[in-house]
Amino acid sequence: MKGFWRKLEKPFFVLAPLANVTDAAFRRIIAEHGKPDVFWTEFVSADGLNSAGREKLLPDLIYSEAERPIVAQLFSAHPEKIRKASALIQELGFDGVDINMGCPDRAVLKQGAGAALAKDYALARAIIAAAKAGAPELPVSVKVRLGDTVNQIEEWIPALLEAKPAAITIHGRTRKEMSKVPARWDDIARCVEIRNEWSLAQDISPDEQTLIVGNGDAEGLEDAREKAERYGVDGVMLGRAIFGNPWLFNDKKDKETISERERLVALLKHAEYFNEMLGEVKPFHIMRKHFGSYVSGFANAKALREKLMVTENMEAVRLLIKEELLKLETSD
C-alpha cells in the first residue's frame, strides 16, 4: 500500500513532526501560508492510546482537511498496541501512519521505542507489520536515524526494506549524536543506493520501491532542493527552519522579505488558533517558544520579545501585538 506517496511529484518537501511545536494550531497557520507536500502530526504514544489516558492524547490527533495529505506518527515497542492505534488512525481518516524509530528522548528509549528499535531489527519489522495489519487501507512509513551509537545503515536499511514500508525518512545522525554534529548527507545518499541495490535484487520496480526522504539541517526550500538533487533522495523533510516562518514552504515568500506587519499578524493568528483549539488541554506557555522566532530582526524586537515571553494568556498576547500593529500604522 503506497497510497498518496505515489502521487507526489519528486522531489517533494515535507514538514517534520516536532513535539510541542507542529501541533494542530501551528499546522493550520502553516497550511494557510505555505503548505508542505505532506504534514505529520506530533508523535503520539500508541501505548497511551491503548490506555485510560487516551482522551488526553486525542488533541494531538486533531487535523483539518486543509492539511491533507497528513500522516499520524506513533511510537511504541509493542506491535499489538501499534496495531490497535493504527486502526484508530485509519478510523480518524488520516492519509497514512508513520512509526517513529528515531527519537532519542530517554523516556522513549526506556520503553524500547524510538531510536531503541535500531537495536532490534526483528521487532522493528514486527511493528511495521502490525501497523499495516491495523490500518490496511493506509500506507505505513517510518522515521529513523543512521543507527544507535554508530552508523549501521548497511544492515539497518535492508532490515527495514524487508517490511516494505511506503517511505523511510532518514535523519542523518545516530541516536548518540543527537543534533550535536552536522547531518551526514553522504550517508543518506548511501541509503538511497542501498534501497536501489536491494530493490534490484528483489526485482522491485522503481515505481514500487520504498521512497527515501532525507532529513537534517535543511535550511529552506532552496537548500532542500539542492540536497535532493545532490544526494538523490525522493524528498526532503524540514524541521527547525519552520520556527517563526509558516511561509517556509511558500515559493513566493522569502523569509528576508516578509514584513514586520506580516510576522506580527501571523504570530497573533497562530496564538489565536492555539487558544481556540488547544487552550483547554495544553498550557499556553507552549506558545512562548514561537514568539522569539516570529519577533526578530526589526525595531523594538528585543523589548517586544521580552514582554511576550512572560505572557500567561491570549489576552496579554493580543494586547501586545495590537499595540505594535497600531504603532506601525501610525508610523506609516
Active site residues: 103
User: Residue length, the chain?
Assistant: 332
Distance (Å, rounded) from C-alpha 76 to C-alpha 113? 5
- Gap between the Cα atoms of 300 and 331, Å rounded: 13
Q: How far apart are CA 275 and CA 282, in angstroms?
A: 9
Q: How far out from the chain centre does Cα 57 lie?
A: 17
Q: Which of 169, 170, 172 is nearest to 180 (CA)?
A: 172
Residues forming a β-bridge with 38 = 14
Cell of residue 113, nine digits: 521505542
Other residues' Cβ atoms within 10 Å of the Cβ of residue 300: 11
- Measured CA to CA in angstroms, residue 5 lies from 11, 13, 166 at distances of 12, 12, 7
The string over 26-51, giving b where at least 16 C-beta atoms fall within 10 Å of a residue's C-beta and e elsewhere, is: bbbbbbebbbbbbbbbbbbbbbbbbe
DSSP run (H or E) holding 143: strand 140-145
Q: Could you tell me which of 245, 318, 306 has the C-alpha nearest to residue 26? A: 245
* Neighbour tally for 10: CB within 10 Å: 10
What is the identity of the amino acid at 304? L
Whole-angstrom Cα distance, residue 228 to residue 216?
12
Q: Is the CB of residue 20 less than 8 Å from the CB of residue 289?
A: yes
